[in-house]
Structure 1
C-alpha cells in the first residue's frame, strides 16, 4: 500500500487484496511473530494478503500460520534491511519494540507503509522520548519523573523526587528491568536491575550503560488500557479495559472497566490527545499513522488520570476484545492499515444475550520444555468460555502460553469464569526433543 500527501491530506493509493499466491501479491511483513502477531497474520490472510512473519526465534506463533517466515535479530540493522529488500513488502507491521528503527524510517521514505508509522515507532520504543513528547509537547499529566544516565544522576534524581519511586530502563517491555525502590540503600541494585533488564542487554556489544527513567510512585487505584484507533475516518476510542498485573506483566483484563464518568472522560481525552499528537508527527514525516494504539493510563485514588505509556500496536490486555467487541483489536489494526474506516460502530461492545462483560485470563506456564494442554472437555464445557493456545515452541522459566476468554453477566462474572476455566486445564511441561 502506498500513500501520498495532497495539500496536507493523506490519500490511500489503490490497494489490491485477494492474490496472496499470485505474481503480484500485496505482502505484509510482520516484525515480531508472537501471539499478537499471530492474530494480526490471521486477519491479514482473511483479506487475501500475503504474510511473511519474522522473529528472533524459529517457529514463533505467527510463523506457524504465515505464508513464509524468516528468523533474525531485528535490532541488527543490516539483517533487517536485507530482509526488507528480499521480501519487498507493501506493508511492514512491527509487533515488537526491539527493532532497528532507522531501517524502518528508510523503508517509509521509499514508500513502504510502516504501521502505524516509522516516526511513531521511534518515539514509542523509547520511554524518555515518549515522556518528553507526552508531557512536554502535548502537556499531558504524568507522574513526576527524571531521566538519568548514571548511578550518580539516579541518586540525585531520587533526592529531588523522593521515595518511594520506580526505576526502569528507557527501553524495555513487560516489566523487564523495573523495580520499586523504598530505601535509598537499594538504588545500586535498582540501577543494576535496569541495566540487566533493558532491551538488548544480552546481545553482543551491549556493554554500554543505558539511560534510566525514575518516577515518583503514585497513589494508584487502578490501571486502564484505552485502545485507540487512528484510521482514514479519524480517531476512535474503545471502551476502557481494566487489568491486573503481576511482576509488571498482564495476567487478567476485562471490558468494560467500571469507572466513574469523570474518570472515563479524562481517560478518553488523554487517549485521543496522545494518538492525535502521534499522528501529527507521522503526517509531518509523510506517513499516515493509521493503526491501533494501546494507551496505558494510571487512575489515582483522588480520581485523577495520568498518562503512562502507549504501544503503537495491539495490546496484550486488548486480547479481551476477541470476546467483547464487534471488531477485535487485530481486525481493527488491519482495517486501519489498509485505509479502511474505523468508526464507533466497529468498536461497539457485542455480548451474548444476558452478558454485559468479558474477560481474558493469561495462561502463564513455568518450567523447562514443551507445553501440553489437556482437560479441555472440562475447561471448555461452558458456552461462555473459549481458549487460544499460542503454540510457542517451548518454555524456559516462565512464559505466557495461552489465553482464556470468557463472557458473563458482568465483568466480575466473566473474570471468575475465565479463571475457573483456566484452573480446570491440565498443563504439563515435557522435555523437548530438540
Structure 2
C-alpha cells in the first residue's frame, strides 16, 4: 500500500480518533491545530503544524506537507482550500464544505436536489429583526427554530422560539449572527446514518437512533429502538441520496427526523466523521474513522465491514460540576461493565463539554440498556440533574411461542418452563391459521423486525399454523404437533413434517414441547456463548439426575425402587 500523508484541519477528539485508526494502517496524519490538542497528544512526529485551522497561511503550509487534505470540522477557510486544491487533493471538495458550513445554503441545496428538509426562511439582512421573527411566527406558527447560518454546533447558534414572548430573548441571544428560521419538526425520533462516499459509489453504516439533551447528542442506539427495518432502510436510502448530491469522498454524518407520520426529513449534514458514528469503533468491523481514511485514499472498503456486529449503545461523557467528573464516569464504567471507554485528553471538565464517550455492546438491546443505565444515572448526577424513578427495561423476547388455540397451552407448559429455567425471554401469542389468517400473516411477516430469533408453533388437527408461519418469515420455525381428539396427533405430525420443498419446519415429537424449547435454545446458543453455557449446565444436571437414579436402582434393587415410584 502506497504511503501517503493525510493533512487534517482540526485536532480535537475527531482528529484523535482518526489518528487512532490511521496508526493501525501506518498512515501519517499531519494535524493543523494548537499544540497539545487531543489529536497531537497521541501522535509524535514533526509533520504537525501549530496554528489555527482558519489561518490561510497555515492551511497552505499543511497542504504543502500532505498528499490529501481533509477536515475534522467544517468551519474552515474554504477560500484557501479552493486555492490549495490546485496542488493537493482536498476531500471532501472545498465546494461541498462551503455549502455545508452555511446551514441555510445546505438546506437550499438539498431542496434543489429533491431531498426532504424542514421549511425555512432566510432572515439575513432584515433591518428589524424583532418584526422579522414575529412575521415568521405568523407564517410558521409557534414554536419554530431560529438558527445561525454559520458557526453553529452542539446547540450553539440555535434558539427555540416557543411563543411570541420569546422573540426578544431570541434576538438578544443570536441577533448578531446571520440567521434563518426553520419550521418546527414534530418528530417522534431523531435518526442518523453515517455515509461513506468512495470513488466507486455510496455506502452506509446502519441507521441509529440519537437522543439529544440541551441540543447535544447524549446517546446513540444501534439499531434504533422500535423502528421497523423498512424504515431503517428508507433512512439509509435518503442519506445516500443526500450525500450523492455533493462532491468529494469521505464519511458524512446525516442527521434526520422521523416524523409522527413515519416520513423522514434531513435535519443536518456533517461533511466528516460525526458523534453519532462513534459506536462504529467497537460495533462494526470498520469504524467510521477507518472508513473515512479508506475513502479519501481510495483503499478498498468491503460493505459487510460496515454492518453492525451486535446491538450497541454509545453514551457521551459530558463535563459535570467538577473538573474530574469525566474520570469518575470512566472509572465507574471500567469497574462495572464490559463497556469500551474513550477519553479525549481535554484536561479539566467543564459543564456540557464533550470529554469522552462509552460504547457498550450486548446480545440484545434490552440487555445493553440495563447495563448502561447506571452510567446514564451517573452522568446525570454529575451534571446536577435530579434522578427520577427509572423504568427497568424489559427483556426483549428471543423466542415467540404461538398456538392455534388456548387449548394448546397445557401441552406447551413443559417447554415454557424450560425456557424460563434457562432464562430465555419469550412471548406467547394465540393466532390461528384458519380463524385468524390475516393476524398470523401480519405476525409472521413482522417477527423478523423484532428481537425474536426463533418461532415455536403448536397446533393440532390439520396443524397448518407453523407451516403457514414459515412461509411468511425467514426465521427458523419449530413445530410442536398437539395430540387432538382424533388420530392421536399423528395427523398433526404428518402435516408439519410433510412441508413443501423450500418451506422447512423443524418438527419435534407429538406433545413434546420440551424438545421444541430445547431446540430453540440450541439455535440461539449457536451465536450466544452464554446461552450455550446455561444449556450445558442444565444438561449436566440431567446427567447427574440419571446417575443418581441409576445408583438408587442398583442399591435398592428393582422391586424396592419400583415401590418408591408408587407402582
Structure with more contact order per residue of length (Cα contacts < 8 Å, sep ≥ 6): 1
CA distance in 1: counterparts of 2:173 and 2:274, whole angstroms: 25
Partner of 2:504: none
CA distance in 2, matches of 1:404, 1:349: 17
1:377 Cα offset (Å): 6.5
Which residue pairs with 2:211 in the alignment? 244
1:148 aligns with 2:115: no
Match of 1:54 among 32, 37, 42: 32
How many residue pairs get aligned? The number is 375
Q: Is the 8 A contact 2:320 2:382 kept in 1?
A: no
Match for 2:105 among 111, 121, 129?
129
* Pair 1:165-2:144 in alignment: yes
Paired with 2:329 and 2:320, the residues of 1 have a C-alpha distance of 18
* Higher strand proportion: 1
* 8 A Cα contact 1:253 1:359, kept in partner: yes
Greater helix percent: which structure? Answer: 2
2:22 corresponding residue in structure 1: 44
The structural deviation recorded for 1:345 is 1.0
Return the match for 2:239 from 271, 288, 291: 271
- Is the Cα–Cα contact under 8 Å of residues 319 and 350 in structure 2 kept in the other structure? no
Give the structure 1 partner of residue 185 of structure 2. 218
**Which of 41, 47, 51 is matched with 1:64 structurally?**
41
Q: How far 1:334 sits from its partner (Å)?
A: 0.9
- Secondary structure of the corresponding residue to residue 380 of structure 1: helix
Distance across 2 between alignment mates of 1:428 and 1:128 = 36
1:312 and 2:271 matched: yes
User: Partners in 2 of 1:327 and 1:176 — Cα distance?
Assistant: 31
Distance 1:372 1:274, change over 3 A: closer
TM-score, normalization by structure 2: 0.62
CA separation of 1:343 and 1:188: change in aligned 2, threshold 3 A? farther
1:54-203 correspondence runs (5 A): 54-55=32-33, 57-66=34-43, 67-68=45-46, 69-85=48-64, 88-110=65-87, 112-135=88-111, 137-149=112-124, 150=126, 151=129, 152-171=131-150, 172-195=152-175
Q: Is there any run of 5+ residues in structure 2 with no aligned partner, and where?
A: 384-567
Which position in structure 1 is the counterpart of 2:361? 407
1:376–1:118 distance in 2 versus 1, CA, 3 Å: closer
Alignment of 1:303-382 (within 5 A): 303-351=262-310, 357-367=311-321, 369=323, 373-374=327-328, 379-381=333-335
Deviation at 1:378?
5.3
Q: 1:375 to 1:235 in 2, by over 3 A?
A: closer
Aligned equivalents of 1:59, 1:232: Cα separation in 2: 34
Structure 1 stretches (4+) deviating beyond 6 angstroms? Answer: none
Q: TM-score, normalised on structure 1?
A: 0.80
Show structure 1 runs of 5+ residues with no match.
Answer: 1-14, 18-25, 196-208, 283-288, 352-356, 430-434
Distance 1:331-1:418 versus aligned 2 partners, 3 A rule: farther
> Counterpart in 2 of 1:390?
344
